[in-house]
Amino acid sequence: MRLSLRKALGIAGRALRPGRPRHAQWFLTGRCNLRCRSCLVWRRSDPGEELPTGEIIRGLDALRALGVVEIVFSGGNPLLREDIGEILAYASRSFITTVYDNGTLALKKTEELRRADFVAISLDSLDERTNDSIRGEGAWKGAMSAIDGLRREGFAVFPSFTISRLNLDEAVDFAVHFTDREIPVMYCLYSRDNPSERRMFPLGADEADLSIVDGEAAARMCDALRDLKRSRPGVMITTRFLDALKRYFLTGQRSWTCRALREFVMIDPMGRAAGCHGGEPVGSVFDLPRLWRSPEFGRAREKSARCEGCLFFCYAFYSVHAGVFGDLRTLWDRRALAASVLKDAAKLRLR
């Protein structure tokens, strides 16, 4: 993790500001080089326009002024952008920065990725056939090679496992496999879009065989991961969130209220901002500091708070972990990743 004193002080100062979002996810591009069944992004006939480098940097300045602490770059595949190195270098001066890859490009762009704090590689199974039935032929080999190669090079890399009906029974084994090798594991949750003509862009495909229908089995998975976390802090899903998911799987009721445009904000490739990808854009990223406390944003927040239409992990997670104390719980839960980064950095210095 690239944590200079200036960056640390800036993050601490912004994290303590009340009424500000701490997390932003920027979908940098609609282009992708895989055809995952769970995703709608690549299915658009036109991937759409993308902001040029200078405008993205201006948008990052706006997010910093707004109070954002952590930013995740995704897509599509953000590594398809030729300027990804410049974007990561600028973002990492001010934010805790994570960039996603599907495993196809990371080893070709190591110099660019060195400018990020964390690299997430999408991988949905230890079994090649299962993974590739979701993400496409060759995806498993690419992801495993990327994780191994980046790890050897000292990157703070972790696999991102999207829980679905097809891999529900291996969520625990997946964590054991990687944490045995001192590689932390991040979890996501398959969810499909609700029909809407006003959403910012499509994301979650409706694939019946991926939807979790056995709530009791999913609740047992939550218990098993909770138990595993006691001995393996590299299981990067919080106990509080596992408890919230278990309740949902057993009762169908959410114990959280959506905190879109309170705790988090989403940015699309054109720089439009919304509480989530399924919401209507409420402005541009450049306008966020000015509009954040406006009546228009207040109405959008109330609309999001009434929404119970999705289980997208990033939205649910930051809604469960709202406020400064939620941030502290999350940081504590991710201490294993920090320890892993420091350990690898020490190894590199000894080479």
DSSP three-state, residue 57 = helix
Predicted confidence band of residue 326 (pLDDT cuts 50, 70, 90): low
Closest by Cα among 73, 76, 74 to 32: 76
pLDDT at 48 over 80: no
Q: Tell me the pLDDT of the chain averaged across its residues.
A: 89
Q: Average pLDDT of 240-264?
A: 92
Which tens digit of pLDDT belongs to each residue from 308-320?
777 776 778 888 8
> So what's the pLDDT on residue 348?
42
Q: Average pLDDT of 208-225?
A: 96
Predicted confidence band of residue 345 (pLDDT cuts 50, 70, 90): very low
Q: Average pLDDT of 177-195?
A: 90
pTM: 0.90
Higher pLDDT, 322 or 240: 240
Report DSSP letters for 239-281, one per residue.
HHHHHHHHHHHHHS--SS---BTTTEEEE-TT-EEESSTTSPP
Predicted confidence band of residue 329 (pLDDT cuts 50, 70, 90): low
pLDDT at 271 over 60: yes
pLDDT at 350 over 70: no
Domains and CATH numbers, the chain: 5-13+20-124+135-350 (3.20.20.70)
Predicted confidence band of residue 277 (pLDDT cuts 50, 70, 90): confident
Which tens digit of pLDDT belongs to each residue from 57-96?
999 999 999 999 999 999 999 999 999 999 999 999 999 9
Structure tokens at 149: 């190669």
pLDDT at 35 over 80: yes
Rounded Cα distance between 274 and 24, Å, is: 10
Q: How many helices (H) and strands (E) does the chain have?
A: 14, 10
Higher pLDDT, 325 or 115: 115
Which tens digit of pLDDT belongs to each residue from 105-154?
999 999 999 999 999 999 999 999 999 999 999 999 999 999 999 999 99
Rounded Cα distance between 321 and 313, Å, is: 12
> So what's the pLDDT on residue 126?
98
**Report for 10-14, 42-46, 155-159, 347-351: range of highest mean pLDDT:** 155-159
Q: Which of 114-123, 184-193, 209-218 has the lowest mean pLDDT?
A: 184-193
CA distances from 12 to 128, 170, 186, 252, 306 (A): 42, 37, 24, 37, 31
pLDDT at 169 over 50: yes
> So what's the pLDDT on residue 291?
93
